[in-house]
Amino acid sequence: MGGKGKKKKPRPKIKQVWRRKDSSAASTSSPPPPPWADLPRDITANILHRLGAIEMLETAQKVCTTWRNVCKDPAMWREIDMYNLGDLGSMPYNLETMCRHAVDRSQGQLVAINIEYFGTDELLEYIAERSGQLRRLKIACCYGMCYEGLIEAVKRFPLLEELHLIFTELSSIEIVGRSCPLLKSFTLNRTGRRHPRECDEEAFAIAKTMSGLRHLSLFGNEMTNEGLQAILDGCPHLESLDVRQCFNVYLSGELGKRCAQQIKVLKRPYDSTEGYGWDSTIYDDDSFDGYPSGFSDLDFFSDDDEFYLDYDDYTRWDPEDSDLEELFGFY
């Protein structure tokens, strides 16, 4: 038959090449996920929340997809801590813009917020419009904020339980007391003066409208023994009282005994300010300029309102030097 005489073609020899597991081929595979990516979500959330709002928005959410997803959860923004050192001029981002973004992320669940150095009336109004559940508000060294602006905002926080004001003034404590019937903790701390004038109006307003207080701090207040007596009468549930640098108060005799009996934690006018955390310099009346140490008139001019969008870049925006199309995709 015709096909019998044909020879089969020899099979080509296959050269076997053995490779080690750590060869270059293996090294081109995707790297393993970072160890923190496998942490339970609740543990990751707990860790990130300890960083504070500024670090979460500016750094943490940019590390990986897992962290970004956690940072976008509204539950992460029930408490917003905008702690900073007050050196706003050297910061590469705008804290007010960042704070508004944090409030937006809370989606109405915000219950506590701390604002230091950068607060304005406009920011408070923004918060009030979106945070009807707020229970704790702390404002420190916000010199661009008007007395009336703060009052108008507080009126819209009927569930407020804690209000802490450091170097921040109020036009009417009585309005605060009537607007926030659930208030349990109130702070109104000022700079101490060596020879203060005598004024009990604030003490009387506290006694009249804040009967449910448990904790009260009036660092550097001008009240006298009469004002303190009114507070003890009007706030029977008071447990802690800070009257450091209230140099018109003299805790001797019957008033001193009553304070010792009624108040569990009492800080007296001349007690140490170690650990206070704020300027505790005592000023003479003729040298006190109204500002905490380290500040001058120039520090209290508020910047013009800046453009705000819901985006993740909080750097300061200069309309003269920026290309709108490049920044935001439109003219």
What single-letter amino acid sits at 143? Y
What single-letter amino acid sits at 92? P
Distance CA 196, CA 57 (A): 43
Q: Which residue has the higher pLDDT, 135 or 28?
A: 135
Predicted confidence at residue 286, as pLDDT, reads 54
Predicted confidence at residue 138, as pLDDT, reads 97
Q: What is the mean pLDDT of residues 116-139?
A: 96
Q: Which pLDDT tens digit goes with each residue over 280-312? A: 999 986 554 444 444 433 343 334 434 334 446
The pLDDT-based confidence of 244 (bands split at 50, 70, 90) is: very high
The pLDDT-based confidence of 142 (bands split at 50, 70, 90) is: very high
Predicted confidence at residue 146, as pLDDT, reads 87
Report the candidate in 209, 226, 227, 157 with the shortest Cα–Cα distance to residue 218.
Answer: 227
Q: Which pLDDT tens digit goes with each residue over 90-124? A: 888 899 999 999 999 999 999 999 999 999 999 99
Distance CA 274, CA 27 (A): 56
Predicted confidence at residue 91, as pLDDT, reads 86
Distance CA 32, CA 23 (A): 17
Strand duo 112-116 + 185-189: pairing: unpaired
Predicted confidence at residue 155, as pLDDT, reads 95
Predicted confidence at residue 31, as pLDDT, reads 74
Contacts of 303 (CB under 8 A, 6+ apart): none
Distance CA 326, CA 331 (A): 9
Predicted confidence at residue 29, as pLDDT, reads 67
Distance CA 99, CA 171 (A): 25
- Residue ranges per structural domain of the chain: 81-289+310-328
Predicted confidence at residue 328, as pLDDT, reads 37
Q: Which pLDDT tens digit goes with each residue over 1-60? A: 555 555 556 665 555 544 555 545 445 567 777 777 778 888 989 999 899 999 999 999
Predicted confidence at residue 172, as pLDDT, reads 93
> For the whole model, what pTM was predicted?
0.77
Predicted confidence at residue 305, as pLDDT, reads 39
Contact 306, 97 (CB under 8 A): yes
Predicted confidence at residue 16, as pLDDT, reads 53
Residue % of the chain over a pLDDT of 70: 77
Contact 242, 219 (CB under 8 A): yes
- Locate 112 and state its tokens: 């506590």
Predicted confidence at residue 15, as pLDDT, reads 53
DSSP code of residue 154: H
Contacts of 211 (CB under 8 A, 6+ apart): 234, 235, 236, 237
- Summary mean pLDDT of the chain: 83
**Domain spanning 81-289+310-328: which CATH class is it, in words?**
alpha beta
